[in-house]
């Protein structure tokens, strides 16, 4: 990894800046920082980045030889994996996290992702969301006691709440909604609010809390349009149909199968199989009235 001074020099040359072109630092000061003869304070670094028109996140990426940090690298691979259908990639992440934790046992974020991947593996193996995971309970206990959460912690809990019993799950969902509001404009490319609302709707469907389920699924739908998330949108419509079916509207079964077929038409057979498996395992033949 480059020093901060080396990185400033590298970016300055890329952008065609001269040492005297910075708004709050003299040529002599920049020369000393670039040669690592002088440290730079955070406020001065932020001033340099403002002159560069660059975020701190991109600066650190460049400083790390155009690579994400190990934590961010695993985290973003995790966010881009559909865990219920891509177990091969999930197993790769699990092994990477385990290997990283051997050398960095205090990295809480990677530990949480390791626990999450283990939970997803158990869900797939046991075909149930009622998973015994003391580690997950400890993660919630740790975060519940904190006054605020980081972005990565919000994301982690937005995936982990699904395995908790209803009373705890409701508490976690409320806390996520509170913490999430601060980060909706951060890492916009992930759009975890839409997947969170859809997952909450599915969670409440499994828990037979149909009014709450419909509320959250209907929150997800306009966000699917906004972010162009057709897969999540189709899944949300499928679960709205499942709710109707469970409430005694037998013709809603046809819409469920239409949603399964839509996934196939979209050339997403794994999503079709995942939805069909959930339908057959948890909902079909289980009409409540």
Query: How far apart (Å, rounded) are the C-alpha atoms in residues 267 and 173?
Result: 32
Residues 121-147 have pLDDT tens digits of: 888 888 888 888 999 999 999 999 999
* Cβ atoms of 44 and 72 closer than 8 Å: no
Distance (Å) of CA 274 to CA 74, 114, 172, 254, 268: 24, 23, 25, 17, 10
* Cβ atoms of 127 and 87 closer than 8 Å: no
Distance (Å) of CA 87 to CA 68, 217, 218, 285: 23, 26, 29, 28
Integer Rg of the chain from CA:
23
Q: Which residues contact 219 (CB under 8 A, 6 or more apart)?
A: 197, 201
State residue 58's pLDDT score. 94
Query: How far apart (Å, rounded) are the C-alpha atoms in residues 100 and 250?
Result: 50
Q: Domain 191-289 classified CATH 1.25.40?
A: yes
Q: Which residues contact 87 (CB under 8 A, 6 or more apart)?
A: 120, 121, 124
Domains in the chain: boundaries: 4-63, 68-178, 191-289
* Cβ atoms of 232 and 272 closer than 8 Å: no
Taking CA 147 as the corner, what is the angle to CA 197 and CA 107, rounded to the nearest 5 degrees? 80
Residues of the chain with pLDDT under 50: 289
Model pTM? 0.85
State residue 39's pLDDT score. 92
Beta carbons within 10 angstroms of residue 11's beta carbon: 18
The DSSP code for 20 is: G
Structure tokens at 221: 């739908």
Q: Whose structure tokens read 């909450």?
A: 200
State residue 84's pLDDT score. 60
State residue 188's pLDDT score. 67
> Which superfamily does 4-63 belong to?
lambda repressor-like DNA-binding domains (1.10.260.40)
Q: Is 68 helix (H, G, I), strand (E, B) or coil?
A: coil
Domain 4-63 and domain 191-289, same fold? Reply is no
Query: How far apart (Å, rounded) are the C-alpha atoms in residues 37 and 269?
Result: 59
């Amino acid at each position: 990894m480059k020093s901060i001074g080396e990185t400033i020099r590298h970016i300055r040359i890329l952008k065609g800046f001269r040492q005297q072109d910075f708004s709050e630092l003299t040529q002599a000061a920049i020369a000393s920082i670039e040669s690592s003869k002088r440290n730079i304070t955070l406020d001065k670094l932020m001033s340099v980045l403002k002159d560069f028109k660059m975020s701190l996140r991109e600066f650190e990426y460049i400083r790390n030889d155009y690579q994400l940090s190990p934590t961010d690298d695993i985290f973003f691979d995790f966010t881009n994996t559909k865990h219920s259908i891509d177990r091969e990639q999930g197993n790769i992440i699990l092994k990477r996290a385990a290997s990283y934790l051997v050398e960095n046992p205090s990295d809480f974020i990677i530990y949480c992702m390791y626990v999450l991947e283990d939970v997803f593996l158990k869900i797939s193996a046991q075909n149930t969301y009622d998973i015994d995971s003391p580690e997950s309970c400890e993660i919630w206990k740790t975060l519940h006691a904190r006054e605020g959460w980081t972005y990565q912690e919000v994301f982690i809990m937005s995936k982990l709440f699904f395995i908790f019993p209803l009373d705890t799950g409701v508490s976690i969902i409320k806390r996520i909604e509170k913490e999430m509001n601060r980060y909706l404009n951060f890492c916009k490319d992930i759009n975890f609010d839409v997947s969170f609302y859809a997952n909450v709707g599915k969670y409440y469907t499994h828990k037979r809390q149909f009014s709450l389920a419909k509320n959250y699924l209907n929150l997800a739908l306009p966000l699917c349009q906004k972010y162009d998330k057709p897969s999540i949108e189709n899944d949300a419509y499928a679960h709205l149909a499942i709710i109707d079916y469970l409430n005694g509207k037998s013709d809603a079964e046809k819409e469920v199968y239409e949603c399964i077929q839509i996934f196939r038409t979209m050339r997403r057979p794994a999503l079709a199989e995942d939805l069909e498996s959930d339908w057959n395992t948890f909902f079909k033949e289980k009409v409540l009235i």
